[in-house]
């Protein structure tokens, strides 16, 4: 994998407590697209910390729409989708540069761990990702997912009505479009914000497994995919995380 062919895309909403740590783990010579829907100073922090090779696009819409907007803004062959509440492992980008890319490879699903609590949860989470990829139902994780832009286009892009599990739905679609999607266990990100798990790890797990299986088997009609089944309940420090009717505006400056 040539790192010059990779753009990192991260959707953000009120991530002031996480974004500095997130940005610190990104090499300065990799392009970054931040698709932001914040009411706090997230954008200001991004402009302060990372002045070069960074684009900030303001948006209102679903997380799926934000990821698609970021992919459309990328000019590289590969897009690394992630979230601002994780940090990349210290050797992540070395591992990424060593990653072989076979012919027909449309995507990679990376691993997710924790730097503190919930390590056992993420061990099981990674096992689920590994098994899903092996059996031909490659569930994705938006925190750590590489997609070839041409494969994403062949799959029809993200379903922008999706408010959650948009990552797994798009990897299913990439697979069905004839591209290989495999698990890459050496590409590890660490979760640093556990607020959603604190409201119930079992609830989150059951929600993800049941909804992803329903999406894989086509049991949720396209007209009903926008319902998140209660996933985006407001966090204690924020209002609703994702809103309908996306509109975008590119921030001046911030690129280099």
The pLDDT, as a whole number, for residue 256 is 45
End-to-end CA distance of the chain: 23
Residue pair 182/110 in contact by the 8 Å Cβ criterion: no
Handedness of CA 83, 191, 207, 123 (dihedral sign): positive
* Structure confidence at residue 215 as a pLDDT band (50, 70, 90): confident
Which pLDDT tens digit goes with each residue over 112-143? 998 778 888 889 889 989 999 999 999 999 99
Least-confidence region, from 59-68, 73-82, 246-255: 246-255
Four-way CATH pick for 3-232: 3.40.47.10, 2.60.40.10, 3.90.400.10, 3.90.550.10: 3.90.550.10
Q: What is the pTM of this model?
A: 0.85
Please list, in sequence order, all residues whose beta carbon lies within 8 angstroms of the beta carbon of residue 239, skipping any fewer than 6 positions away: 39
Q: What number is the average pLDDT over the span 220-242? A: 56
Q: Where are the domains positioned within the chain?
A: 3-232
Residue pair 256/49 in contact by the 8 Å Cβ criterion: no
């Amino acid at each position: 994998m040539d790192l010059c062919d990779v753009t990192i895309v991260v959707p953000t909403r009120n991530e002031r407590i996480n974004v500095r740590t997130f940005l610190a783990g990104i090499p300065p010579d990799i392009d970054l697209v931040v698709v932001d829907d914040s009411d706090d100073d997230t954008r200001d922090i991004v402009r302060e910390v990372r002045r070069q090779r960074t684009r900030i696009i303001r948006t209102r819409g679903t997380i799926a729409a934000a990821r698609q907007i970021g992919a459309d803004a990328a000019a590289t062959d590969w897009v690394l989708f992630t979230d601002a509440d994780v940090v990349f492992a210290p050797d992540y980008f070395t591992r990424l540069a060593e990653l072989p890319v076979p012919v027909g490879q449309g995507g990679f699903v990376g691993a997710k761990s924790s730097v503190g609590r919930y390590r056992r949860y993420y061990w099981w989470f990674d096992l689920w990702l590994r098994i899903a990829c092996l059996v031909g139902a490659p569930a994705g994780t938006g925190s750590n997912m590489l997609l070839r832009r041409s494969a994403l286009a062949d799959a029809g892009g993200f379903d922008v009505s999706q408010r959650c599990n948009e990552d797994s739905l798009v990897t299913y679609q990439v697979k069905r479009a004839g591209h290989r999607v495999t698990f890459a266990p050496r590409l590890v990100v660490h979760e640093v914000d556990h607020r959603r798990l604190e409201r119930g790890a079992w609830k989150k797990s059951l929600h993800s497994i049941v909804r992803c299986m329903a999406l894989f088997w086509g049991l949720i009609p396209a007209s009903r995919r926008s319902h998140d089944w209660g996933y985006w309940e407001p966090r204690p420090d924020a209002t609703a995380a994702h809103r309908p009717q996306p509109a975008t505006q590119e921030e001046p400056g911030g690129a280099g």
